[in-house]
Amino acid sequence: MTKPITRPEAGTADPFLWLEDRTSKQSLDWVHSQNEITVGELQGDPSYQASFQTALDLMTAEDNIAVGAAIAGHVYNFWQDKTNALGLWRRTTVASYKTEKPVWETIIDFDQLAAKEGIKWVFSGASRLYPDFSRCLLSMSPDGGDASEMREFDIQTRSFIEGGFHAPASKSGFSWLDKDTVIVSAAFEEADKTESGYPRVIKLWKRGTKLEDATPIFEAKTEDLAAGAGVEFDGEKRHVFLARALDFFTSHSFLHLPSGENRRVPLPDDATDTSLFKDQLLFGVRSPWTAPDGTVCQPDGLYSLDFAHWIETGSFGAIETLLAPAYRVSIAGIARTQDRLFISLMDNVRGKVVVCERRDGAWSKKPVALPENGTVGISHAEHFGSSVSFSFTDFLTPSSIIWSDDDGETLETVKSQPARFDASPLISEQFEARSKDGTMIPYFVVRRRDQKGPVPTLLYGYGGFEVPLLPGYAGVRGRLWLEKGNAYVQACIRGGGEFGPAWHQAALKGNRQNGFDDFAAVAEDVVRRGIATARSLGIQGGSNGGLLTGVSLTQHPELFGAVIIEVPLLDMLRYTELPPGASWMAEYGDPSKPEDVKWLSAYSPYQHVRADAAYPPVLLTTSTADDRVHPGHARKMAARLQETGHARTLFFEETEGGHGGRGDRRPQAAQTAMKYIFLQRALSAGA
């Protein structure tokens, strides 16, 4: 058991605070020396080159599925392969997309653009102008981080608009109001930003004027998470919505009226799954809410109200129940075509989709005839048309795209990824583990059907921000891990979104330990079933999942034979000091408050490293360009582990790619190969 600690007193020195300086010479010298050791250790392994090549081949294979969205007769796709390292933004006709070999038109070649401008631009998306969608506000990151530069671009001429809208790299947001007006969610100057570093002020920017002269129309508070804006079309009706995000899970929504008034939409602060369809405003709630008409809205349900009536009268009418809550069924997403609404659901971590219509003032709904017992998602829904596509996969079934041109009535599988590994000897199973407080925690196991005894096993988890972990096909994992006779386990711990808001809230703030206990319970259950031994069981997690594996290392080192901690949060007593850490206080708590410090200090991994603990081998990874989770967390944890005598600690920091490792696939393939080599070497002896 670890000993509880208190928040360090003012003036208490953190010996590795200097590693929080992202780009200082001292910090980067330390990073380069650590990278040299890790690269020598893992890339020096005889199996590395073949593993790297396999990973790169699969990540850049020409027969990977080109996932795209249809707009005005074209399917748009972003594509990377060995020739196009930074990628192509391209399009093809819908008819061509459905063929085995579509004929693609390149809109932007980012490798050519990088060569011309000397910057490795990473595509971050584009906002297209209604109704012909040929003009767009193109966002590009100079280093793969979240901050992006915006430039106006003409898709027809495939060129940037000279003298058009252009904004420097920032975390700002841009959307069209009309062809001569852009709605800017501004985060340029410090006065524009919230404490979390996100947009605070919404402005209207007129063509031909300077960005700094844009007219403010809305402001959030400095302590809020962010302000956001966007245009929503409902048929021919155009609505401008503004939002003041109080934190990750609560917000106030406003309708910007032609008069200039910003009218608050009086939904509860924790409303979720909002969408506008056929004059109906749809919404869900994270906690029970009694509507003005007396309707009690419950989490995991979906409700609707007459939005046109509210605009006219300022009051809600009757609330209708579109989808009633059901046990272990949660809403995964909502999308709409011009005439139909699609609701993606998770039923005990298995997917399905319901299609809804609104006729004569009433709702009707029916299931979409999609494959069962896998992960089903809505790939795209054409807002101004009738095309919709769905994805289907599970751990052993390659991904496929199922397309419909008639609102889900007629379905056709138009894309199927080839098998990347031999799944015939494998089986996918779902089990449950009993957590410390008695809650049953589902988890999946993928292993050989004829497994006779413990094998090297990788346990993956996340458990935060209401994000679910769902079954999915991964060719690299199949080739570099499962084909070697190893097993893979995926845990659906509390804190995630597998079973809706209540599952998330059960590990929120002061209840965070529940999620850590869930993960430990799954690990113990895997060992009890004989799938692995503690020494042959490795764990991996990134971002919030990196916090999970960091806590697992310091609380239960005896349960694991190897630990991978990716782009993590680890110093939970200083996380709000490292931008944009303040944005996560609704998830973790506020370390400036004594009552919150009590639970944060009880588990914060950085403060719980012990010299006398028997830690298994550890690999920590991060990115210099990560502007979402600061690299200082991983750096300091690695330094502290090494200083306290834990020599089997390796650290690797990529110099570009941001939090999600975007950009060139070669560094991603190299890091992936290193991680599997690290696991194989550490766990094989314990099987």
- Answer yes or no: pTM beyond 0.85: yes
DSSP string, 454-520: ---EEEE----TTPPP-----HHHHHHTGGGT-EEEEE--BTBSTT-HHHHHTTSGGGHHHHHHHHH
| 657 band by pLDDT with thresholds 50, 70 and 90 | low
| 194 band by pLDDT with thresholds 50, 70 and 90 | very high
- Tokens 């939090």 identify what position? 659
The Cα–Cα gap between 434 and 515 comes to 12
In this predicted model, what pLDDT tens digit does every residue of 384-419 receive, in sequence order?
A: 999 999 999 999 999 999 999 999 999 999 999 999
Residue 574, pLDDT > 60, answer: yes
Q: Average pLDDT in the 346-364 region?
A: 94
444 near 461, Cβ under 8 Å? no
The Cα–Cα gap between 480 and 677 comes to 9
Q: Average pLDDT in the 21-30 region?
A: 96
β partners of residue 609: none
Name the average pLDDT for the chain.
Answer: 95
In this predicted model, what pLDDT tens digit does every residue of 119-178 receive, in sequence order?
A: 999 999 999 999 999 999 999 999 888 999 999 999 999 999 999 999 999 999 999 999
Residue 2, pLDDT > 80, answer: no
- Tokens 């349900």 identify what position? 301
Residue 609, pLDDT > 80, answer: yes
User: Which residues form the catalytic set?
Assistant: 543, 659
Task: Decide the pairing of beta strands 226-234 and 251-256.
Answer: unpaired
Give the number of other Cβ atoms within 10 Å of residue 418's Cβ: 10
Residue 9: per-residue pLDDT:
37
The Cα–Cα gap between 185 and 203 comes to 7
Q: Average pLDDT in the 502-524 region?
A: 98
Backbone angles phi, psi at 142, to 5 degrees: -75, -15
599 near 573, Cβ under 8 Å? no
**% of the chain beyond a pLDDT of 90:** 94
Query: What is the dihedral sign for C-alpha 197, 200, 201, 202?
Result: positive
Q: Tell which wins on pLDDT, 328 or 661.
A: 328
The Cα–Cα gap between 380 and 77 comes to 12
Residues in contact with 227: Cβ distance below 8 Å, sequence separation at least 6, in sequence order:
185, 194, 198, 199, 200, 201, 202, 218, 219, 220, 242, 243, 244, 245
229: nearest Cα among 214, 246, 244, 208: 244
Residues in contact with 300: Cβ distance below 8 Å, sequence separation at least 6, in sequence order:
284, 325, 326, 329, 330, 331, 500, 501, 502
Residue 164: per-residue pLDDT:
97
In this predicted model, what pLDDT tens digit does every residue of 551-566 receive, in sequence order?
A: 999 999 999 999 999 9
Helix (H) or strand (E) holding 349: none
Residue 661: per-residue pLDDT:
64
Residue 3, pLDDT > 60, answer: no
The Cα–Cα gap between 63 and 469 comes to 26
Residues in contact with 119: Cβ distance below 8 Å, sequence separation at least 6, in sequence order:
142
How many residues does this entry show for the chain?
687
Residue 143: per-residue pLDDT:
87
3-state secondary structure at position 106: strand
Residues in contact with 195: Cβ distance below 8 Å, sequence separation at least 6, in sequence order:
222, 223, 582
Based on DSSP, count helices (H) and strands (E) in the chain, helices before strands: 13, 39
Residue 298, pLDDT > 70, answer: yes
Q: Average pLDDT in the 432-443 region?
A: 98
| 12 band by pLDDT with thresholds 50, 70 and 90 | low
Residue 7, pLDDT > 60, answer: no
Residue 655: per-residue pLDDT:
81
The Cα–Cα gap between 406 and 388 comes to 8
Residue 471, pLDDT > 50, answer: yes
β partners of residue 391: 377, 401
